[in-house]
Structure 1
Amino acid sequence: MHLSYCTNVHPAEDLDGIVRQFDAYAVAIRRHLDADVLGLGLWLAAPVARELAADPAARRRLRHELDVRGLEVVTLNGFPYEAFQAPVVKHAVYHPDWTTRERLGYTLDLARVLVDLLPAGADRGSISTLPLAWRTPWDARRKEAARRHLDELAGVLSTLERPIRVGFEPEPGCVVETTAQAAEALSDVDAEWLGVCLDLAHLACAWEDPGEALDRLAAAGLPVVKVQVSAALEAADPVGAADVLRRYVEPRFLHQTRSALGPAADDLDEALDARLPGPWRVHYHVPLHAEPAAPLTSTVPVLRAALRELIRRDACDHFDVETYTWGVLPEEARPRTDADVAAGIAAELAFARNELLMGVAS
């Protein structure tokens, strides 16, 4: 199994900046963990992905910078196109979507880069991407455009020198929010190259049972290409927890909120204003190893159950810790320095590593 952390938590979007973030964070994280090699789930914004795909020398430089620091890459995060740590992201993260050739081109650029980054012993590489599009607007014309692009994607992947698979990541509010919707929307894709990226915070927000979700994907013939090891925010009594919940309202990211009873909101402040019935799960990735402020909890129990099921079924071997929200956590939980960020990510990776080892042992 490959364990990594996703670098979309960092804002760098050019090659020099990406190399600097290796020194600022990744090397320190590797040392915290006393690991010979640290896995990165590398995020490359579209402009630098395009530059790297077009320039073999730039790819060789990136590979060298990884190797000399004891870093390796088997998976890329291809969901955010660019500017993921901008002051306001919200719905912009879903554009361009799979109805556009820009999204296809970006993903193929990533695949070509990943071919040259894969360690010699890696069986394959993986790329996660958005679940087609935000749910509106969506019609037959857009659906057909997305399908053409997915077919073209699979065709090009089949020609690459190393196996690279792409996983579509169900997310609240999107065309594909649940594993049932994934099974329907992706029923005709080439499953040798395309499948699902299972984000465990998103799975929890959909109030899905991990075992049933994996059964559903298996019945549809959809492989789990990649797992994002993440936890969402949970409020058993959102009315009683409203003051604490408001500390998690922030302007950068959408925090889609789902009630176990069915009502939903596209952002946390909307859910609070609408007083949706509880309990709630909120699409707010929280640090895996640290409980949020009481009376809130996290969906780590769902994460734990999902990892056990995935390991028992031997369903996936790429696990990427993706907590991109360190910079927008409530003030009392927010890291102050680069060293604090590195220490927090290292603690998450240690937590995830322990959970994976416990799953193997059981």
Structure 2
Amino acid sequence: MHLSYCTNVHPAEDFDGIVRQFDTYAAAIRRHLDADVLGLGLWLAAPLASELAADPALRRRLRRELDARGLEVVTLNGFPYEAFQAPVVKLGVYYPDWTDRRRLDYTLDLARLLVDLLPEGAARGSISTLPLAWRDPWDAARAGAAARMLDELAAGLAGIAARSGRPVRVAFEPEPGCVVETTAQAAAALSGVDTERLGVCLDLAHLACAWEEPAEALARLRAAGLPVVKVQVSAALEAADPVAAAEVLRGYVEPRFLHQTRSGYGDAADDLDEALERELKGPWRVHYHVPLHAEPAAPLTSTVPVLRAAMRELLAGPEPACDHFDVETYTWGVLPEEQRPRTDAGVAAGIAAELAFARALINEEATA
């Protein structure tokens, strides 16, 4: 099994900026963990991915930079196309979607470069991507266009595997507000795809926000024949009583990311400020990735219990249901002021603490 942290928490989008990230954050995290090798769930913006895919020498240089620092990459985050740490992202993260050829080109570029980054012992690589599109607009014509793109994607991945000898799978990530929000919708939308190449990325914060029970969700995916290609080890914000917690919740309202809010009674809002304005009936789960190892401001809690239950199901039995686990807390820079790290060293220490939490949990469940 491979454990990594997702670098979409960092803003750099050119080659030199990515390498500086390795020195500023990854090297420090590896020292905190006293690890021989640190896994990165690398995020590369589309222009850089295109540059790397077209330039074998640049790919070799990136591999040398990783190796020199004791870093490895088996998974890439291909969900944000570019500018993920811009001042305002919101709905922009869902474009271009899977009806747009730019999304296909970007994903295949990532696959082409990933085969040259994979460590020798890795059985395969993985790329997570958005769950087709934001839900509106969506109709039969757009669904048909996306289906054709997925057929081309599978064919392209097969060609890359044949040429390189290294398989790469693409994982579609159910997310609140999208065409595919739940595992039931994933089973329906991905029915008939090439499951040797395509599957699901199970983001555990998203799973919690959909109010899905992990055992039932995984059983549903197994019944549909959809592999869990990648797991994003993440936790969402939870408010048992949103009225009592309203003042604290307002501290989490911020302009960069969308924080879809779901009530335990089925009510939904596309952002946290909308949920507060509408006073949705509680309890709430909010699509706000919070640090795994630390409780949010009281009286709020996190969905770490859902995370634990999901990991127990994923790692039960003689063979785990997934072998790529990526800690994805991209919100360090927008946390409420009193919880936000003030320095690069503080960010690195926080990510290291999350990875230590995830590593201990995996070891605990794998040996149970």
Matched, 1:220 2:231: no
For 2:367 and 2:57, the matched residues in 1 are separated by 43
Letter in 2 for 1:258: R
Q: Corresponding residue for 1:57?
A: 57
Q: Corresponding residue for 1:359?
A: 365
1:139-288 equivalent positions in 2, closer than 5 A: 139-160=139-160, 161=164, 162-288=166-292
Letter in 2 for 1:51: E
Letter in 1 for 2:188: E
TM-score, with length taken from structure 1: 1.00
1:78-97 equivalent positions in 2, closer than 5 A: 78-97=78-97
Letter in 2 for 1:38: L
Q: Corresponding residue for 1:335?
A: 341
Q: Corresponding residue for 1:292?
A: 296
For 1:59 and 1:251, the matched residues in 2 are separated by 35
Deviation >3 Å, runs of 4+: none
SS at match of 1:290: coil
Structure 1 residue 109: Cα displacement = 0.2
Report Cα offsets for 1:4-25 as digits up to 9, x if no partner: 0000000000000000000000
For 1:134 and 1:291, the matched residues in 2 are separated by 30
Structure 1 residue 263: Cα displacement = 0.4
SS at match of 2:235: coil
For 2:206 and 2:340, the matched residues in 1 are separated by 22
Letter in 2 for 1:109: D
Matched, 1:319 2:319: no
Letter in 2 for 1:66: L
Structure 1 residue 156: Cα displacement = 1.0
1:109-128 equivalent positions in 2, closer than 5 A: 109-128=109-128
Unpaired segments of 5 or more residues in structure 2?
A: none
TM-score, with length taken from structure 2: 0.98
For 1:3 and 1:120, the matched residues in 2 are separated by 16
SS at match of 1:36: coil
Letter in 2 for 1:64: R
Q: Corresponding residue for 1:25?
A: 25
SS at match of 1:232: strand
Structure 1 residue 361: Cα displacement = 1.5
SS at match of 2:231: strand
Letter in 2 for 1:246: R
Structure 1 residue 159: Cα displacement = 1.6
Letter in 2 for 1:23: D
Matched, 1:344 2:350: yes
CA RMSD of aligned residues (A): 0.4
Letter in 1 for 2:68: V
For 2:51 and 2:108, the matched residues in 1 are separated by 13
For 1:177 and 1:188, the matched residues in 2 are separated by 19
Letter in 2 for 1:76: L
Say how many residue pairs are matched. Answer: 362
